[in-house]
Amino acid sequence: MDYLNALALITNYILLPGLTYGSQLALGALGVTLIYAVLRFSNFAHGEIMSFGTMVCILFTWLGQSYGINFGFLPTALLFLPIAILFSVIYCILLEKTVFSYYRTKKSDPIVFLIASIGVMFFTAGLIRFIIGPSDQSFNDGVRFLFTVRDFKNFTGLNEGFGLKTTQAISVITTMALCFLLFWFLNKTRTGKSMRAFSDNEDLALLSGIDPNKVVLLTWVIAGGLATFAGVLYGLDKVYKPFIFLQMLLPIFSAAIVGGVGNPLGAFVGGYIIALSELFVTFAYKKVLGYILPEGLGPDSMMQFLSTDYKFAVSFIILVIVLILRPTGIFSGKTL
């Protein structure tokens, strides 16, 4: 019986990757939920906006690298992240001005917005494949590990250990900082409060002199910025695949719905719930049980609930369970 080794295993294979992926999902879900709260539609183009921001970041990283710029032990992409954010914010504002504002002034049905966002998704997906091509791009040039499994083993003398990837640390720290900033902004500042008021009751907000155009633009700015963060962090942690972002819509939407759509806190928590359960369900517990159970009782099979191939199915199952048991989500968002 060796709980420390089991704990180290779980940390290495579930907790750290789960927190990282959860952070990326949370940032994506925050964007979806903010758009939903203010503009009241499910933005199917969000994945592609993430992809767009990441693409800009990669292009600038390549440009920077060709001039010999680097960011020490951190990935160079972080240096160009502000530029990428600027680009995707501009892109979002252009989308709002050319596509969505028309339906907003016409007070169209949410379904019309949804179809429009599908059009935007098509366009953006095409644009991305047109510019950077459909193949995978790896652009992480920083130091891969802050400390490796071997360092940990040598340090503690345990059989098992966990390593901390640079990107994992960056993802979690950045997400925490961003969420702290966002919640501070929404709850303490005058503009943030006006956003919440607008989301809560549009007519009343208009009566109180809140400028709807300003609120909507601000929402797009925040959503675009968060989307770029999420995309770049995901791309750094794994690899940038133009095709993956459409598949990521499902876990992102699930995260937003599990937490309660339109509720930023819900999106934040939902991201971690989805990511951790994906890993908990698809992890093979053979080794862990071998450490925890008394000698000789360790299982022979892999002790895996679901094969890793069905990672994305987990978010769907969670979505369905939430829809059946509690459609408003954990933090009682609006019912879609």
Binding mask 15-54 for another protein (x = CB under 8 A): --------------------------xx-x----------
Using the contact rule CB under 8 A, the part of the chain among 138-146, 164-172, 242-250, 269-277 near another protein is 242-250
How far apart are CB 330 and another protein at their closest, in Å? 16
How far apart are CB 118 and another protein at their closest, in Å? 5
In angstroms, the CA 256 to CA 43 distance is 12
Pick from 68, 190, 203, 324 the residue near another protein by CB under 8 A.
324
Which residues have a Cβ under 8 Å from the Cβ of 325 and sit 6 or more positions away?
none
> SS3 for 222?
helix
Based on the shown chain and the rule CB under 8 A, indicate whether residue 307 belongs to the binding site for another protein: yes
In angstroms, the CA 274 to CA 173 distance is 19
Using the contact rule CB under 8 A, the part of the chain among 19-27, 68-76, 148-156, 308-316 near another protein is 308-316
> How is 260-327 classified by DSSP, letter by letter?
-TT-HHHHHHHHHHHHHHHHHHH---HHHHHHHSPTT---SS---SS-GGGHHHHHHHHHHHHHHH-T
Please say which residue, 124 or 194, places its beta carbon nearer to another protein: 124
Based on the shown chain and the rule CB under 8 A, indicate whether residue 110 belongs to the binding site for another protein: yes
How far apart are CB 52 and another protein at their closest, in Å? 13
Distances in whole angstroms, Cα of residue 70 to Cα of each of 57, 74, 232 = 14, 8, 16
Based on the shown chain and the rule CB under 8 A, indicate whether residue 320 belongs to the binding site for another protein: yes
Please say which residue, 154 or 332, places its beta carbon nearer to another protein: 332
Q: Looking at residues 282 to 301 of the shown chain, list those that interact with another protein (rule: CB under 8 A).
A: 301
Based on the shown chain and the rule CB under 8 A, indicate whether residue 217 belongs to the binding site for another protein: no
Based on the shown chain and the rule CB under 8 A, indicate whether residue 104 belongs to the binding site for another protein: no
In angstroms, the CA 195 to CA 36 distance is 12
Q: Which two tokens mark 324?
A: 């059946």
Based on the shown chain and the rule CB under 8 A, indicate whether residue 4 belongs to the binding site for another protein: no
Rg, the chain, Cα only: 21
Do 273 and 258 form a contact (C-beta atoms < 8 A)?
A: yes
Please say which residue, 7 or 127, places its beta carbon nearer to another protein: 127
Q: Looking at residues 116 to 145 of the shown chain, list those that interact with another protein (rule: CB under 8 A).
A: 116, 118-127, 129-131, 133-134
Based on the shown chain and the rule CB under 8 A, indicate whether residue 61 belongs to the binding site for another protein: no
Do 69 and 79 form a contact (C-beta atoms < 8 A)?
A: yes
DSSP symbol at 210: -
Pairing mode, strands 145-147 and 164-165: antiparallel
Q: Which residues bind another protein (CB under 8 A)?
A: 41-42, 44, 99, 102, 110-112, 114-116, 118-127, 129-131, 133-134, 243, 246-247, 249-250, 253-254, 257, 301, 305, 307, 309-310, 312-313, 315-316, 319-320, 323-325, 327, 335-336
